[in-house]
Amino acid sequence: MKPSILFLTLSMLLITACGQQSVKPVYLDSSKPLEDRVEDALSRMTLEEKVAMTHAQSKFSSAGVPRLGIPELWHTDGPHGIRPEVLWDEWDQAGWTNDSCTAFPALINLAATWDRDLSRLYGDCIGAEARYRGKDILLGPGINMGRTPLNGRTFEYMGEDPYLAGELVVPYVRGVQSNGVAACVKHFAVNNQEVRRTATSSNLDDRTLYEIYLPAFRKAVQEGGAWAIMGSYNLYNGQFNCHNKKLLCDILKDEWGFDGVVISDWGGCRDDEEAITNGLDIEMGTWTNGLRGAASDSYSNYHLANPYLERLRDGRATEEELDGKVRRILRTVFRTSMAPEPHYGSFTSPEHYAAARKIAAEGIVLLKNDGILPLRPQSGSRVLVVGENAYKMMVVGGGSSNLKTKREVIPLDALHEAFDSKASVVWERGYVGDTTTVYNKVVTGQDLSESRSAGQLLSDAVTAARDADYVLYIGGLNKSKGQDNEGTDREDILLPYGQDALIEALAAVTDKLVVVNISGSPVAMPWASKANAIVQAWYGGSESGHALVDVLTGVVNPSGKLPFTMPLALADGPIKTERQYPGVKEEGEKWWQEYYDEGVFIGYRWYDTQGIDVQYPFGHGLSYSTFELRDASVKRSGKGWTVSATLANTGDVAGAEVVQLYISDVEASVARPAKELKGFAKIYLEPGEKRRVKFDIGPDDLSWFDTEKHAWVAEPGAFRALLGTSSADIRAEIPFNYDK
Ligand code: BGC
Say yes or no: CB of residue 266 within 6 Å of ligand 1.
yes
Say whether pLDDT at 585 is over 90: yes
For the segment 474-482, the average pLDDT, to the nearest whole number, is 97
For the segment 427-453, the average pLDDT, to the nearest whole number, is 95
Per-residue pLDDT, 352: 98
Say yes or no: CB of residue 186 within 6 Å of ligand 1.
yes
DSSP string, 167-231: HHHHHHHHHHHTTT-EEEEEEES-----TTTTSEEEE--HHHIIIIISHHHHHHHHTT--SEEEE
Question: Ligand 1 centroid vs 69 CA: distance in angstroms?
Answer: 29
CA torsion 145→151→157→159, rounded to 10°?
Answer: 50
Say whether pLDDT at 272 is over 80: yes
Whole-number average pLDDT of the chain:
95
Per-residue pLDDT, 19: 43
CB 502 within 8 A of CB 338: no
Say whether pLDDT at 362 is over 60: yes
Question: Sorting pLDDT into bands at 50, 70 and 90, what band is 20?
Answer: very low
627 phi and psi angles, rounded to 5 deg: -130, 145
Say whether pLDDT at 738 is over 90: yes
Say whether pLDDT at 691 is over 60: yes
Say whether pLDDT at 15 is over 60: no
For the segment 92-112, the average pLDDT, to the nearest whole number, is 96
How are beta strands 137-138 and 200-203 bridged, if at all?
unpaired
Per-residue pLDDT, 612: 98
Q: Ligand 1: which of 191, 400, 402 to mutate, judged by most atoms within 8 Å of the beta carbon?
A: 400
Say yes or no: CB of residue 629 within 6 Å of ligand 1.
no
Per-residue pLDDT, 291: 64
Q: Ligand 1: which of 73, 292, 486 to mutate, judged by most atoms within 8 Å of the beta carbon?
A: 486
- Please work out, in degrees rounded to the nearest 5, the angle formed at the alpha carbon of residue 347 by the alpha carbons of 89 and 134: 40
**Residue-wise burial string across 54-65, b where 16 or more C-beta atoms lie within 10 A, e elsewhere:** bbbbbbbbbbbb
How are beta strands 470-476 and 382-386 bridged, if at all?
parallel
Per-residue pLDDT, 23: 83
Question: Ligand 1 centroid vs 303 CA: distance in angstroms?
Answer: 19
Per-residue pLDDT, 120: 99
Question: Sorting pLDDT into bands at 50, 70 and 90, what band is 9?
Answer: very low
Say yes or no: CB of residue 269 within 6 Å of ligand 1.
no
Say yes or no: CB of residue 60 within 6 Å of ligand 1.
no
Question: Ligand 1 centroid vs 265 CA: distance in angstroms?
Answer: 6
Residue nearest to atom 11 of ligand 1 (CA): 266
Say yes or no: CB of residue 400 within 6 Å of ligand 1.
yes
CB 173 within 8 A of CB 151: no
Residue-wise pLDDT tens digits, 73-86 = 999 998 999 999 99
Atom of ligand 1 at shortest range from CA of 91: 12
Per-residue pLDDT, 3: 44
Catalytic one among 115, 161, 265, 665? 265
- First vs last Cα of the chain: how many Å apart? 88
Q: Ligand 1: which of 83, 139, 196 to mutate, judged by most atoms within 8 Å of the beta carbon?
A: 139
Question: Ligand 1 centroid vs 137 CA: distance in angstroms?
Answer: 13
511 part of the active site = no
Atom of ligand 1 at shortest range from CA of 142: 9
Residue-wise pLDDT tens digits, 382-395 = 999 999 999 999 99
CB 740 within 8 A of CB 717: no
Residue-wise pLDDT tens digits, 553-568 = 999 999 999 999 999 9
Say yes or no: CB of residue 543 within 6 Å of ligand 1.
no
Question: Sorting pLDDT into bands at 50, 70 and 90, what band is 726?
Answer: very high
Say yes or no: CB of residue 197 within 6 Å of ligand 1.
no
Residue nearest to atom 4 of ligand 1 (CA): 266
CA torsion 600→606→608→614, rounded to 10°?
Answer: -150
Per-residue pLDDT, 290: 64
Per-residue pLDDT, 14: 40
Say whether pLDDT at 7 is over 70: no
For the segment 343-359, the average pLDDT, to the nearest whole number, is 98
For the segment 698-711, the average pLDDT, to the nearest whole number, is 98
